[in-house]
């Protein structure tokens, strides 16, 4: 009898020990953001109304119809007068870029932002174990990631990933790569670098579906330092709770709605198709179907299922009775599991669409709107500027949950949920010099006031003033 008790005790101990080991191993697989740094170019690269007008006037392929289209697009874009452009624009060479222009643009960003991040965090470049770089529109040899390794003299055994052509959603793809590696290795540091190279990608034609990208994209970038070292948990800013990626590349209309191509004159640019809003909505819905059960409380999921079931029964009953049910479709309340929404600044229409889909208030959308106004669409790095706004406004408190949502060509929708580890808002921030001016009384830009006369011009007599 005593021997059996000893055996049972040993088996129970082994079972408990295995559970403890499993839990302990999971703790070493967590993904934390130690710090991040957004790029703020120098003031001599700031794009105001006057300079925008100069750039547009020197585009020889444009006519009055295109000027009117651009004016309407810029006025309704939600972009202000303090965004930034690459140096090539100020030199008037945007139509004839060189390979070196794109490389120098990235070098300036890398050397400024990564150095600031490493200095502030106290982590040396030689301590970085994983480097993930995403710059969609530039692929050079050696790669941009190799450029960083060379400049900062990183270790020979560093694991390096260089992503291109992944679009505005690439930042979360990079985080997902780091998260996956963290599951196999303990106590690692990872550096994620996100930006976009604008110098070699200016569209100089007159195709409306392609000139729109010239209005929205601006210079920017960010570097994010991550770790799975549990000893650094309390020093971290954010903890990753879940990350979901949705890819609709198998659907032809989704694949073709945002594509790099050439126009009829052979000029290269980004074609934005009219089907893009539909593709984005479909990708968002499919993404949130997977995300919602992971981040929302059971009570909200049950409420949604009950309301949906009641609506279906009501619809069936109304149909049998010969009448049509016009009751609105039930929406799931993401605010029951999310405190802050970090929305991609793809444009005013993107922000408005996400606000309607998720029933967000103006307070919820304010960080995205202000980021679009101040910095424009900085592609994959834009989410971190939005997060920076929340931090600068001291909105982020310990335990808060932040949902990031981004879109990208392909067509992709990626989302992730972060938990705030400690109160944030006292550290240096890209918004530091301008946060007191936000939100402004109005987001209207001066383009209509300065160039509205174009709408009254006659195409047969129009001559562009010098």
Name residue 377's beta-bridge partners: 217
Domain boundaries, given as residue ranges, for the chain = 29-302+332-456
0.85 exceeded by pTM: yes
Please tell me which residue in 31, 38, 162, 168 is annotated as part of the active site: 168
- Which residue bears the tokens 């949920």? 417
Q: Considering the candidates 271, 344, 429, 445, report the single residue annotated as catalytic.
A: 344
Q: What angle do CA 310, 311, 312 make, to 5 degrees?
A: 90
Considering the candidates 38, 176, 247, 413, report the single residue annotated as catalytic: 247
User: Active-site residue 176, yes or no?
Assistant: no
Instruction: Convert 364-374 to b/e letters by CB count within 10 Å (16 or more is b).
Output: bbbbbbbbbbb
pLDDT at 86: 95
Both structure tokens of 92? 């008037």
Is the separation of the CB atoms in 438 and 370 below 8 Å? yes
For residue 65 the two structure tokens come to 């119809």
pLDDT in tens, 201-238: 999 998 988 998 888 899 999 999 999 999 999 999 99
Distance CA 37, CA 121 (A): 10
Q: What is the pLDDT of residue 189?
A: 97
Residue of 228, 340, 414, 445 marked active site: 340
User: Annotated catalytic, 344?
Assistant: yes
- Residue 151 annotated as catalytic: no
For residues 247 and 424, give the distance between their C-alpha atoms in angstroms, rounded to a whole number.
Answer: 33
Q: Which residues of the chain have pLDDT under 70?
A: 1-28, 315-330, 466
Residue 222: active-site member: no
Cα distances (angstroms) measured from residue 214 to each of 56, 123, 367:
10, 37, 23
Catalytic pick among 377, 414, 429, 445? 377
Catalytic one of 31, 38, 214, 373:
373
User: Which class does domain 29-302+332-456 fall in?
Assistant: alpha beta
What is the model's pLDDT at position 284?
Answer: 93
pLDDT of residue 427: 79
Active site residue 247: yes
The pLDDT score that the predictor gives to residue 20 is 52
| Predicted local confidence at residue 426, as pLDDT | 81
pLDDT digits (tens, 9 = 90+) for 26-45: 556 899 999 999 999 999 99
* SS3 assignment for the chain: CHHHHHHHHHHHHHHHHHHHHHHHHHHCCCCEEEEEEECCCCHHHEECHHHHHHHHHCCCCCCHHHHHHHHHHHHCCCCCCCEECCHHHHCCCCCCCCHHHHHHHHHHHHHHHHHHHHHHHCCCHHHCCEEEEEECCCCCCCCHHHHHHHHHCCCCCCEEEEECCCHHHHHHHHHHHHHHHHCCCCCCEEEEEEECCCHHHCCCCCCHHHHHHHHHECCCEEEEEEECCHHHHHHCCEEEEEEEEEECCCCHHHHHCEEEEECCCCCEEEEECCCHHHHHHHHHHHHHHHHHHHHCCHHHHHHHHHHHHHHHHHHHHHHHCCCCCCCCCCCCCHHHCCCEEEECCCCHHHHHHHHHHHCCCHHHHHHHHHHHHHHCECHHHHHHHHHHHHHHCCCCCCCCEEEEEEEECCCEEEEEEEEECCCCCCCCCCCCCCHHHCCCCCCCCCHHHHHHHHHHCCCCCCCCCC
Catalytic status, residue 429: no
Model pLDDT, residue 315: 67
């Amino acid at each position: 009898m005593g021997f059996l008790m000893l055996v049972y005790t040993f088996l129970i101990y082994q079972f408990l020990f295995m559970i403890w080991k499993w839990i302990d191993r999971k703790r070493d697989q967590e993904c934390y953001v130690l710090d991040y740094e957004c790029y703020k170019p120098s003031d001599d690269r700031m794009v105001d109304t006057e300079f925008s007008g100069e750039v547009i006037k020197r585009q020889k392929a444009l006519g009055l119809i295109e000027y009117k289209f651009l004016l309407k697009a810029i006025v309704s874009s939600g972009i202000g007068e303090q965004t930034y452009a690459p140096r090539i624009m100020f030199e008037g060479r945007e139509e004839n870029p060189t390979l070196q222009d794109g490389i120098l643009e990235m070098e300036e960003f890398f050397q400024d932002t990564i150095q600031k991040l490493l200095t502030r965090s106290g982590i040396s470049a030689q301590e970085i174990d994983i480097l993930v770089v995403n710059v969609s529109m530039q692929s050079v040899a050696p790669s941009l990631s190799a450029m960083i390794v060379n400049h900062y003299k990183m270790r020979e055994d560093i694991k390096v990933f260089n992503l291109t052509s992944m679009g505005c959603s690439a930042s979360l793809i990079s985080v997902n790569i780091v998260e996956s590696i963290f599951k196999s290795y303990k106590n690692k540091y990872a550096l994620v670098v996100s930006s976009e190279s604008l110098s070699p990608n200016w569209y100089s034609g007159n195709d409306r579906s392609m000139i729109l990208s010239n209005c929205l994209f601006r210079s920017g970038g960010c570097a994010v330092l991550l770790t799975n070292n549990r000893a650094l948990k309390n020093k971290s800013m954010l903890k990753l709770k879940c990350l979901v990626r949705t890819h609709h590349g198998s659907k032809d209309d989704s694949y073709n709605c945002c594509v790099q191509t050439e126009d009829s004159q052979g000029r290269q640019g980004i074609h934005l198709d009219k089907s893009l809003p539909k593709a984005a909505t479909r990708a968002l819905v499919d993404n949130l179907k997977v995300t919602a059960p992971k981040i929302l409380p059971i009570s909200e999921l049950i409420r949604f299922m009950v309301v949906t079931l009641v609506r279906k029964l009501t619809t069936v009953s109304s149909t049998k009775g010969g009448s049509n049910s016009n009751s609105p479709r039930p929406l799931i309340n993401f605010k029951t599991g999310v405190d802050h929404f970090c929305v991609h600044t793809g444009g005013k229409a993107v922000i408005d669409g996400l606000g309607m889909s998720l029933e967000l208030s103006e307070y919820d959308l304010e960080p995205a709107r202000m980021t679009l106004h101040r910095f424009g669409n900085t592609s994959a790095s834009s989410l971190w500027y939005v997060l920076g706004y929340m931090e600068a406004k001291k909105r982020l408190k310990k335990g808060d949950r932040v949902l990031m949502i981004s879109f990208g060509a392909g067509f992709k929708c990626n989302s992730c949920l972060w938990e705030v580890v400690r109160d944030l808002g006292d550290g240096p921030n890209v918004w530091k010099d301008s946060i007191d001016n936000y939100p402004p009384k109005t987001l209207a830009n001066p383009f209509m006031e300065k160039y509205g006369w174009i709408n009254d011009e006659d195409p047969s007599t129009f001559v562009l003033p010098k």
